[in-house]
Amino acid sequence: MVKIRPFESADAGKLAELCNNKKIFDNLRDYIPYPYTLQDARDFINHCQVHDPPMNYAILHGDELCGAIGLVPQTDVYTGSAEIGYWLGEPYWGKGIMTRAVRLMVSYGFEKLDLRRIFTSVFAHNPASARVLEKAGFQFEGTGRKAVIKNGIVRDELRYAILKTTS
Ligand SMILES: CC(C)(COP(=O)(O)OP(=O)(O)OC[C@H]1O[C@@H](n2cnc3c(N)ncnc32)[C@H](O)[C@@H]1OP(=O)(O)O)[C@@H](O)C(=O)NCCC(=O)NCCS
């Protein structure tokens, strides 16, 4: 059973324990630090609590916190579109959890936030994340060639998006 709920202050310890993992850092943007400390987790949770409605959610497997998922609403001509981002603690990989969490977050974005488009970019060396998006109904929109630099290496990124309606 996969659920999402807003973060609570008491989540900080488990969040820090799970996110302090180089394999997670290697697939995320650099603003998420590594090592990832308890203070980083507390700061993140405080930041999450500023938004109403919430934009970042804890992912629960049963009653266990196992990861995080969030939306970044866009502005200006991109209003109505939001970028989705997510990570899962390594002990929980390969169980279909993130596919279900992405579906829940997409429903939230379309039904509660009235978004028309949700998109993200995946580093080309992360086929598991691309597969999650495909299973959750996202379409591949193209490759950003040499779009990112991570750990000092220039890489391509894969752009995926899902629309509220296809018309
Ligand atoms: C990527 C990540 C979110 C996947 O979460 P998960 O819950 O394990 O994903 P799921 O179990 O729902 O689905 C994973 C799919 O990828 C597939 N997969 C896993 N490793 C793969 C690989 N090396 N190549 C191709 N497919 C792969 C799995 O087989 C599965 O597909 P299937 O159901 O068709 O068999 C998780 O590993 C993670 O958080 N990684 C680190 C952070 C990260 O990458 N965040 C996303 C940034 S865009």
For the segment 30-50, what is each residue's pLDDT rounded down to a tens digit?
999 999 999 999 999 999 999
What does pLDDT average to over the chain? Answer: 97
Q: Where are the domains of the chain?
A: 2-116
CA distances from 154 to 15, 121, 128 (A): 29, 15, 20
In this prediction, residue 116 carries a pLDDT of 98
Global confidence as pTM: 0.97
In this prediction, residue 166 carries a pLDDT of 66
The model's confidence at residue 165, banded by pLDDT at 50, 70 and 90, is: confident
CA 129–ligand 1 middle distance (angstroms): 5
Tens digit of pLDDT for each residue in 109-156?
A: 999 999 999 999 999 999 999 999 999 999 999 999 999 999 999 999
Evaluate if residue 167 carries a pLDDT over 90: no
Of 23, 129, 150, 158, best ligand 1 pocket probe by most atoms within 8 Å of the beta carbon: 129
Please check whether the domain covering 2-116 is classified as CATH 3.30.930.10: no
CA 50–ligand 1 middle distance (angstroms): 30
CA 128–ligand 1 middle distance (angstroms): 3
Please count the residues of the chain: 167
Of 1, 18, 27, best ligand 1 pocket probe by most atoms within 8 Å of the beta carbon: 27
The average pLDDT across 90-108 equals 98
Q: How far apart are CA 51 and CA 112, in angstroms?
A: 14
Q: Which residues form the pocket of ligand 1, taking CB atoms under 6 Å from any ligand atom?
A: 24, 27-28, 86-88, 93-99, 122, 126-129, 131-132
CA 133–ligand 1 middle distance (angstroms): 9
